[in-house]
A and B are shown apart, each in its own frame.
Chain A
């Protein structure tokens, strides 16, 4: 008798299992087709970038090196120049090595002009080490303060 009931119970468990996989089979897949579909990155803090302020149309980095000093991984190399007759410096070179950056965000907190922020980038893989070092000033082009367009 126990043999018969155990066989029946086993058969029932098989059907229950088939039912579970059958249910999952008809539910929609959760795969993200990565290069074709992009994930929602609204909550993600990627490698840092310079903020573009709408009033001036450019960043506000004064090359104070506060970020370079607080950085635990020593990612930064910043050079600056004082425009003629101005009080504040302007950055002329803002190199950051993303291969050592740990996205801790201390530089963002310490920045006196709030011109650093997390970017939304997440696919920063590169083939060569030198490609991980980027000048964050490159997208800004000519500096309007240094060329005298803005005072």
Chain B
């Protein structure tokens, strides 16, 4: 990697070389990740229902998503006549951008992240809130009642669930005394049990559960997938999208899962720390463990009704997260 950076730096200068290589590397990994996660989702769904999932394309169906992607690429890009054309075309492009920015902020080892930030956590929470705007753009510009309803639901849901996610993350920040994701991996801030550093999930189990529920809702996944509830809203906000534009929403959803899973791993599961394996592998494994749990939940629970979803967030999760934050603050304040 560094040899390649040097080679490129001779041609276009150091900063540009770093940015180009970083973007290429992150985009490449995210593309691979989406293809892998869709395959994994279908495998998990299959085995939970005692089926096998995709088996025909490649060994154990591993190339199934590549085939699906080629199919989507060759499909007609359909634009409704009454759609708000500019917004309609912009939404699938924009939906992917915030996740890409967030992906470059997460540290994967002792070396600084691709985009190093002393206030990384704030930037991440701000950026991940942007995804919902493009989802609403998609729903609104399609000029379709189901799409609008899906977009509206998505906004209401993300607004409601971002609060508990933030409060849960904040309770970790109170213990770690930092907003820098890099320093969250510093073991000397961690809780020590029997002389061993414990990841923040040990100190903050309630916050970890709230965070997990919150990111499941933020990624619009079952049981919180009412913005695209197939049985009532056709496809929700992406009803009118076809071909690669539809695939972009899929792409964004699965990338968002990875990014928020990695953020959860950074906050609660001890970042990239772990024995034997290198740091980048540990954070990927931890993120995938969180994602596997999300998939497991998706194929277990039925979808919530909209009012249940809202009252769950406002009446249960937010008070609980607030109480947890207050207790954490008291403990940290008294211990200091």
Contact = CB atoms under 8 A, between A and B. Distances in A.
Interface string A1-44: 00000010000001001101110111111110100000000000
Given A17-B300, A18-B300, A25 B48 contact: yes
A57 B258 CA distance: 68
Interface stretch (B49-57, B117-125, B229-237): B49-57
A24 B48 contact: yes
Nearest to A19: B300
Contact of A29 (B52, B297, B300): B52
B205 interface: no
A22 B51 contact: no
A16 to B, nearest CB: 10
B302 to A, nearest CB: 9
B75 interface: no
B52 A25 contact: no
B55 to A, nearest CB: 6
Q: Is the interface of A mostly helix, strand, loop or mixed?
A: helix
B51 A21 contact: no
Interface string B299-336: 11100000000000000100000000000000000000
Q: Indicate the size class of the contact surface on chain B.
A: 10 to 19
B85 interface: no
B46 interface: yes
B290 to A, nearest CB: 14
B301 A17 contact: yes
B27 to A, nearest CB: 32
B6 interface: no
Given A14-B301, A17-B300, A18-B300, A24 B52 contact: no
A150 B316 CA distance: 90
A18 B297 contact: yes
B179 interface: no
B44 interface: yes
A42 B17 CA distance: 68
Most buried by B among A20, A22, A24, A33: A24
Contact of A30 (B44, B50, B297): B50
Contacts of A22: 296
Interface string A81-94: 00000000000000
Given A7-B316, A14-B301, A17-B301, A25 B296 contact: yes
Interface in B43-78: 44, 46-52, 55
A17 B44 CA distance: 16
A108 B51 CA distance: 39
A27 B299 contact: no
Contact of A21 (B46, B52, B299, B316): B299
Contacts of A24: 47-50
A29 B50 contact: yes
Nearest to B223: A14
Most buried by A among B46, B47, B55, B316: B47
B208 to A, nearest CB: 14
A29 B297 CA distance: 19
Interface string B269-288: 00000000000000000000
A79 to B, nearest CB: 46
B46 A29 contact: yes
A18 B55 CA distance: 25
18 contacts: A7-B316, A17-B301, A21-B300, A22-B296, A24-B47, A25-B44, A25-B47, A25-B48, A26-B47, A28-B50, A29-B50, A29-B51, A30-B50, A30-B51, A31-B46, A31-B51, A31-B52, A33-B52
Interface of A: 7, 14, 17-18, 20-22, 24-31, 33
Interface of B: 44, 46-52, 55, 296-297, 299-301, 316
Given A25-B296, A29-B51, 14 more contacts: A7-B316, A17-B300, A17-B301, A18-B297, A20-B300, A21-B48, A21-B296, A24-B47, A24-B49, A25-B44, A25-B48, A26-B47, A28-B50, A29-B47
- The 10 A-B residue pairs with the shortest CB-CB distance, nearest first, are A21-B300, A31-B52, A29-B52, A21-B48, A17-B300, A25-B48, A31-B51, A30-B50, A25-B47, A29-B50
